[in-house]
Amino acid sequence: MASASYICSTQLVFQELIDIIIQSLSRDISSLLSLCLASRHSAHITQKYLYSRICLNFNSDVLQKFQLGSNRAAQWLATVTSNPSLAHHLECIEVELVDESFWPLLLPVLRTMNGLTNMSLFNPPTSCFRELWECPFRLEQFTLVTRGLIQEEGLIKFLGEQTEIACITLAGDWTESQETRLSISSAACHSLRLFQGERTGIEVFLRDRPNVRWVYWISSPLHEGSTLPPSLDFGHILARLTILILFAPAEQWSPHRPPLSHISQHLTALRILAITGEYYKDELCEVSRLPRLVGFFLTGSHDYQRPPEPVEAGLANLWFRRSWSLRAVHFFIGTSIEDDSTPTVKFRVWKRGAVNAILLQYNGEWDPERFCDELDISPNSLAEITEEGIPQMKS
């Protein structure tokens, strides 16, 4: 009996070890495909990771990481349709449609994804959300980017059903002509923490959502008046924010949003500010004027927008002298990717009181909440900060 028990224990330990190895390779599609051929046991475990996240790109024939081109996407749909249990593993899906004939093939699969938490749709059919009503999944992240129109009733009801969404992104040409008419109940998406979108979307979606304090503002040259100073309602939205990321794609060659000088008077509760991509040169003067700013991040799109280290030091020291609340300044210096692994984002960080900068690396997408953790502050807290109560950076 003891020998049998020992063998059973050894087998369990071996299986757990295999599970850990496979989990460590969960983002390496080549290794996962190889493990599927190793043994029946490893194939069974590997399926969970191989089918947990997928990008169906019907506009390409590439096979990169978990992104499938049009031919392989059709094959993937056929496999999952014939083996419905595989759809239960899916947690994250990104779909870019060019040919709407693929949508009827994808729809039955979406309706079986009861574990899906992250969905991104690019250029879906106009009526797609009516067809997604009463799907079993409960999303935590949702992205909609499209050049065409969207059936408003379908989208409103879909968002009303998805009560667990914490992060939502709404962007594209349709927002200029449609989003001002969207009437999404404030009860919908009541778990929302982060909104990502263009100016119109921010004004409409956050008007009745005072608990949302984190905004990723995507600039767009398509929005008429996008560079105008904020309205009174928009100013009230800005006054609630504790984290603001201003993003302008490199290809725009202009921020296409109001300069920081036009909105800084409203940012009275802001703790973290990030300027990503294109920016106005003179708005760097506004950084030290934000009364409760704790951390600032600057990520230029081009090399000429990234100050050399001596200039960084001068800017950081100037801001520290003028702002009693500012604790750290991050300057983006580059991104590295090795062996198809997760990108590493590198910042040079200047901290108050330090003589030299330090190099800080983030694996994966930069997340300002990590910075909040370093400062021991809550990004959603609006508690008053006094000069004596400045949060201290952890060593």
* Burial bucket for residue 19 (CB in 10 Å: 0-12, 13-18, 19+): middle
Check residue 269 and give its pLDDT.
Answer: 93
State which of 12, 30, 51 marks the end of a domain.
51
CA distance 207 to 224: 20
Tens-digit pLDDT profile for residues 142-173: 999 887 777 778 888 898 888 899 999 988 76
Could you tell me the CA-to-CA distances from 62 to 34, 70, 294, 337 in Å, in that order?
Answer: 19, 8, 42, 19
Instruction: Tell me: do 38 and 65 sit in the same domain.
Output: no
Instruction: Identify whether 9 is part of a domain.
Output: no
Instruction: Please check whether residues 44 and 96 belong to one and the same domain.
Output: no
Task: Give a three-class secondary structure readout of 194-248.
Answer: EEEECHHHHHHHCCCCCCCCEEEEECCCCCCCCCCCCCHHHHHHHHHCCEEEEEE
Average pLDDT on 135-145 reads 92
Structural domain includes residue 364: yes
Q: Identify the CA nearest to 44 among candidates 92, 89, 2.
A: 89
Q: Is the pTM of this model over 0.85?
A: no
In a domain, 198, yes or no: no
Do 46 and 65 belong together in one domain?
no
Q: Give the domain range for residue 130.
A: 52-192
User: Is the domain of 157 the same as that of 101?
Assistant: yes
Q: Give residue for tokens 């909609």.
A: 144
pLDDT at 61: 47
State the total domains in the chain.
Answer: 3
- Let me know if residue 5 belongs to a domain: no
**Within a domain: 388:** yes
Each residue of 298-322: b (16+ CB within 10 Å) or e? bbbbeeebbbeeeebbebbeebbee
How high is the pLDDT of residue 119? Answer: 93
Residues 300 and 324 both lie in one domain: yes
- 353 and 246 belong to one structural domain: yes
- Selection from 15-19, 103-107, 248-252 with the highest mean pLDDT: 103-107
- Same-domain check for residues 324 and 379: yes
Helix (H, G, I), strand (E, B) or coil at 351: strand
- 121 and 249 co-located in one domain: no
Q: Is residue 298 part of a domain?
A: yes
